Chain A
Amino acid sequence: MSVEPEVPIVQVEEVRENPVLYKIISSDNHVFTISEHAVKLSKTLWDLITNLGLTAENALDNPIPVENVNGKNMETIVQFCERHKYDEEEPEYTNYIREFVLPEWDRQLLSIDNEELFQLILATNYLDIQKLMDYCCRVIGDMAKDKTPEELRIIYGIPTDAEDDALERSASDSPGPSG
């Protein structure tokens, strides 16, 4: 009777639950911990980590300051990245179309007021997270459905041409920093 060699069985989930962690500090000094798989979704952060030469050993001792993103947005972004860290790679654009269904979990995450959503878009753009950007764009696009131009102006905060001209005039009339 042959005896089976003792091979340690490593569960995939165990490996997943033991990730390398990084610390990120938001513009208002909130500290967030994010796993390596999750942080890779942000091209900007991952480039920074690679360029700084952060490793599993020194990552937690070297928090990464992100001056352009506040704590509230960073919290949403970290939640999003942790949620999607094991997603299969993004499909490439096929003939300019990337078709996707916005999952309910993400729709809930992005159910925030318009100003926060626009802030999140700017933060997502800065951190270069393609999937979150696609989802934010979808949510903003969905807001426009069945709305009149007047309603769109209110939802998106679009000034009329007259208001826009008046703003421009007052900006050019006001004295500059030197004057």
Chain B
Amino acid sequence: MCAEPTWQGIPSRIKQDIVTSLDYRSRFRLRVCSKSDQYLVDNSPIILEGLKILWRPSGLALAVKKDGKVSEIHDNSTDKLINLFFDVFKVKRSFVKNVEMQFLLYMNEIRLEPLIARIQLMTDHDLKIRTNHASLIVHGLSNQDFTNFFRLFDSKVLESIKFENKHSQDQLKEISSFEVWKSLRQIDICLKQSVPLDSLLHMNRLKYFSSNLSSEGIWKLRADLSPGFGFSVTCGNNLTENEVVSGLGEQFNSLAIRLNGNQYELSQLFSTLAADLVFVVTLEFKKLQGYVCNRRTVNEDFEKFNKWDTEPISFLRSNRSN
């Protein structure tokens, strides 16, 4: 063991692990200690719980969550914050559990050019956004730019995505052919747009709009009654109670129930092949929801399911460190 027992003597692989465990501020304070530490920090992966570009009354901000604490970086320069966001993923092993981007139409002063330029740069360098959960509410991006953005997500780690952009049928068909789409387990598509049903069937949680949901479609949707499975579909057509029940499959025993004190047009509990699981279905104002619940905790489970699509953005609710 010839190495010196000092910071300088530790193998760089170990130093990278130490740097990766540092909080954001310590990381940048270490970075200015010396040229070799600058190189070390710039080449050490960044592991974060959350990273979000959001709008504050004072302007655009970048929120960073690590070890349960949220720090916000404020800057008048959109370019700078977008660059900081994408710089996290410059080192290939970097990973952020939840990623969010909110560029809404009312944010007049926001220019999308820097975002489009960084999407292009990431594509050119074959860099990926490694995250489990992504929420992209980016108004004003062209279809092609959104497609390029979507492709940046690493299919090996992305589990769920929420997006709000309006897409043509052709574009949705194109996006749903990407590897990253095929590996998704959850999806939440906010705006009214018809997604081909067959492209969603591999997911175990989905929230989307269907212009014309039929009994056959419902039958396809409910094919996987495994724990955690659920859907929430806003329908363009008027579904009848009979269509829903026949779509769900009459071979299962069903029972009308009252959920959490709410009066739905339809709320039924279906038995499943697993003794401890039931499939709960509700219909209200063209919104059809179904969720596999534990027989003993139906109300609690269904309540949780109602909120699942907001989970990824909940990371900002923890303590702000400053």
Does the CB pair A133–B14 fall under 8 Å?
yes
B181 at the binding interface (Cβ < 8 Å): no
Does the CB pair A121–B14 fall under 8 Å?
yes
B18 at the binding interface (Cβ < 8 Å): yes
| Chain A contact patch, size range | 35 or more
In the bound complex, residues from chain A placing their C-beta under 8 Å from that of B29 are 144, 147-149, 152
Given A97-B47, A133-B14, A152-B33, are A157 and B26 also a contact pair (CB < 8 Å)?
A: no
Given A125-B14, A152-B30, A161-B34, are A115 and B5 also a contact pair (CB < 8 Å)?
A: yes
The smallest beta-carbon distance between B319 and chain A, in angstroms, is 16
Closest to A97 in B: B47
B contact residues, total (Cβ < 8 Å): 33
A33-41, A50-58, A76-84, A135-143 - interface stretch? A135-143
In the bound complex, residues from chain B placing their C-beta under 8 Å from that of A149 are 29-30, 32-33
Most buried by B among A115, A137, A157: A137
A156 at the binding interface (Cβ < 8 Å): yes
- State in angstroms the CA–CA spacing of A118 and B3 once bound together: 10
A158 at the binding interface (Cβ < 8 Å): yes
In the bound complex, residues from chain B placing their C-beta under 8 Å from that of A45 are none
In the bound complex, residues from chain A placing their C-beta under 8 Å from that of B10 are 118, 121-122
B132 at the binding interface (Cβ < 8 Å): yes
Given A122-B1, A141-B22, A149-B33, are A95 and B95 also a contact pair (CB < 8 Å)?
A: yes
- State in angstroms the CA–CA spacing of A160 and B37 once bound together: 10
- State in angstroms the CA–CA spacing of A43 and B46 once bound together: 28
Closest to A145 in B: B26
Does the CB pair B5–A159 fall under 8 Å?
no
Given A148-B29, A149-B33, are A118 and B9 also a contact pair (CB < 8 Å)?
A: yes
- State in angstroms the CA–CA spacing of A140 and B47 once bound together: 17
Given A125-B14, A141-B22, are A118 and B30 also a contact pair (CB < 8 Å)?
A: no
B303 at the binding interface (Cβ < 8 Å): no
The smallest beta-carbon distance between B166 and chain A, in angstroms, is 31
- State in angstroms the CA–CA spacing of A121 and B94 once bound together: 24
0/1 interface trace, chain A 148-174, chain B, CB 8 Å (1 if under): 110011001111110010000000000
The smallest beta-carbon distance between B87 and chain A, in angstroms, is 17
- State in angstroms the CA–CA spacing of A123 and B5 once bound together: 10
The smallest beta-carbon distance between B252 and chain A, in angstroms, is 36
B17 at the binding interface (Cβ < 8 Å): yes
In the bound complex, residues from chain B placing their C-beta under 8 Å from that of A96 are 45, 47, 93-95, 130
- State in angstroms the CA–CA spacing of A141 and B14 once bound together: 11
Q: Which of A68, A116, A122, A138 meets B9, CB within 8 Å? A: A122
A62 at the binding interface (Cβ < 8 Å): no
- State in angstroms the CA–CA spacing of A126 and B9 once bound together: 13
0/1 interface trace, chain B 11-22, chain A, CB 8 Å (1 if under): 100100110011
* 1-57 of chain B: CB within 8 A of chain A: 1, 3, 5-11, 14, 17-18, 21-23, 26, 29-30, 32-37, 45, 47
A137-B14, A141-B21 given. 9 additional CB < 8 A pairs?
A: A95-B132, A96-B47, A96-B93, A96-B94, A96-B130, A146-B26, A158-B7, A164-B34, A164-B35
